């Protein structure tokens, strides 16, 4: 009888574990709904700026442009005082929690997790150029930590973080690859299978909350493999360099601004907020937000309410690249919650679109190749960048070119910034990092 009971327990255990993992993935996906809602509201607000509406500066647009000047000082003051535990994007804190179990009760507690989401939400609604993978990933691990009552192992915490990325971007494969390529650096089946299940469940909940399957739509245009590869190398070199430069500048600026943000938060916030507001006025708003709206309009050819060519012609293209490079550095270097994925995609997509505009190539191909290579150059995660670029733009037909562009971008990015950005930020021991 005892032997039969043990056999029954063995048979039922996998089913029970599968159910728990799936339920955890659903819970993480549900927790991402507020982030996705904030992202949609940001998109609506950005369309009020002249750079996207095509109209003049209205009182509403002016107030939106001044929002960083009003909001950033408050955020930095809070992060330097009552919300000190909420400083940083969340990914360096997550990496520390995975590598140092004793730090998990402090780093994955409800208060810093919710506080970080709140600060990110305020900054995003102020149209600051921030991504969201940092707070999302940390939130996913915090959900697992809370539901598991602090007894969840590092692999499941990492898988929960990947599920949160799947929920935030509706990209399950990208979430799984990020777990294996960055958080654990392991492609073991014991990690991948639960991560796939959780990411799939989280993405399902994300889609029910309105997150689109292909965030930038599907723009199917047949391009031969040889054409893809021919463009993948030069665009990979250029966009990969820009992605690596984004990471490099963020580290350099963070080393200077983080101490100032702690010791003089009000003055630092006013200075950075003023710089972001000035950049908004100069760019007409193209520097604002995570960059997804810009990519939409470059793909649709309607940037600035005119043809996409008007933004990319003459001095418009170099200035656009500077705006999408400088903006995220100003927004993230002081330790505000956010991420680099969206800014890197926007920077690379803008580069690729400009290359194609000035050479007569296919804009869709250039944008997709630029997105993949800049993200790989910034994060040094070529597989994740490949998976994300395919999912964002429905670009399955561009797999050969995206593969080459991701590898080239990662190689160039490593030359610019030798240490991977997330690890470099996490290595600032004891510092709340951007």
What average pLDDT score do residues 312-341 get?
89
Q: How far is CA 424 from CA 81, 95, 247, 255, 261, in A?
A: 25, 11, 10, 11, 19
Model pLDDT, residue 310:
60
Lookup: tokens for 164: 């949160």
Q: What percent of the chain has pLDDT over 90?
A: 62
- Helix, strand, coil share (%) of the chain residues, nearest 5: 75, 0, 25
pTM of the model: 0.89
What average pLDDT score do residues 389-396 get?
72
More confident residue, 224 or 132: 132
Identify the band that residue 431 occupies on the pLDDT scale cut at 50, 70 and 90. very low
**Do 143 and 27 contact (CB within 8 A), yes or no?**
yes
Domain boundaries, the chain: 2-208, 225-426
- Summarize pLDDT for 32-69 with one digit per residue, the tens: 999 989 999 999 999 999 988 888 999 999 999 999 99
Phi and psi (nearest 5°) for 53?
A: -85, -25
Architecture of domain 225-426: Orthogonal Bundle (1.10)
- Summarize pLDDT for 410-419 with one digit per residue, the tens: 999 999 999 9
More confident residue, 16 or 115: 115
Report the C-alpha gap between 20 and 46 in whole angstroms.
40
Model pLDDT, residue 213:
58
Q: Is the pLDDT of residue 169 over 90?
A: no
Architecture of domain 2-208: Orthogonal Bundle (1.10)
Model pLDDT, residue 346:
94
């Amino acid at each position: 009888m005892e032997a039969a009971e043990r056999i029954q327990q063995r048979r039922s255990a996998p089913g029970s574990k599968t159910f728990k993992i799936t339920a955890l993935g659903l819970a993480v996906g549900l927790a991402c709904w507020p982030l996705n809602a904030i992202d949609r509201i940001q998109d609506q607000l950005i369309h009020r700026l002249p750079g996207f509406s095509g109209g003049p500066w209205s009182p509403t647009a002016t107030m939106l442009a001044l929002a960083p000047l009003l909001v950033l000082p408050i955020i930095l003051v809070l992060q330097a005082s009552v919300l000190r535990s909420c400083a940083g994007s969340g990914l360096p804190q997550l990496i520390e929690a995975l590598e140092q179990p004793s730090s998990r009760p402090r780093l994955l507690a409800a208060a810093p997790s919710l506080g970080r989401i709140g600060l990110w939400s305020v900054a995003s609604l102020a149209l600051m150029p921030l991504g969201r993978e940092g707070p999302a990933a940390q939130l996913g691990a915090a959900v697992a930590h809370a539901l598991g009552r602090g007894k969840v192992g590092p692999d499941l915490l990492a898988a929960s973080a990947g599920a949160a990325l799947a929920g935030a971007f509706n990209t399950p494969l990208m979430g799984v690859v990020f777990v294996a390529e960055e958080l654990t650096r392991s492609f073991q089946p014991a990690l991948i299978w639960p991560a796939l299940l959780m990411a799939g469940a989280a993405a399902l909940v994300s889609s029910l909350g309105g997150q689109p399957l292909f965030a930038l739509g599907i723009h199917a245009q047949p391009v031969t493999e040889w054409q893809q590869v021919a463009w993948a190398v030069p665009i990979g070199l250029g966009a990969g360099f820009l992605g690596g430069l984004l990471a490099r500048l963020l580290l350099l600026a963070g080393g200077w601004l983080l101490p100032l943000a702690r010791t003089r938060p009000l003055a630092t916030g006013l200075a950075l907020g003023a710089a972001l507001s000035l950049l908004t006025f100069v760019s007409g708003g193209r520097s604002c937000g995570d960059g997804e709206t810009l990519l939409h309009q470059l793909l649709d050819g309607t940037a600035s309410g005119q043809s996409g060519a008007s933004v990319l012609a003459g001095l418009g293209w170099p200035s656009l690249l500077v705006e999408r490079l400088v903006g995220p550095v100003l927004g993230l270097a002081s330790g505000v919650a956010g991420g680099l994925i969206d800014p890197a995609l926007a920077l690379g997509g803008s580069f690729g679109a400009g290359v194609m505009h000035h050479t007569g190539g296919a804009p869709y191909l250039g944008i997709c190749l630029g997105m993949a290579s800049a993200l790989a150059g910034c994060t040094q995660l070529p597989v994740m960048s490949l998976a994300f670029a395919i999912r964002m733009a429905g670009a399955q037909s561009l797999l050969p070119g995206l593969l080459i562009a991701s590898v080239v971008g990662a190689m160039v990015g490593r030359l610019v910034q030798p240490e991977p950005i997330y690890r470099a930020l996490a290595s600032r021991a004891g510092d709340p990092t951007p």
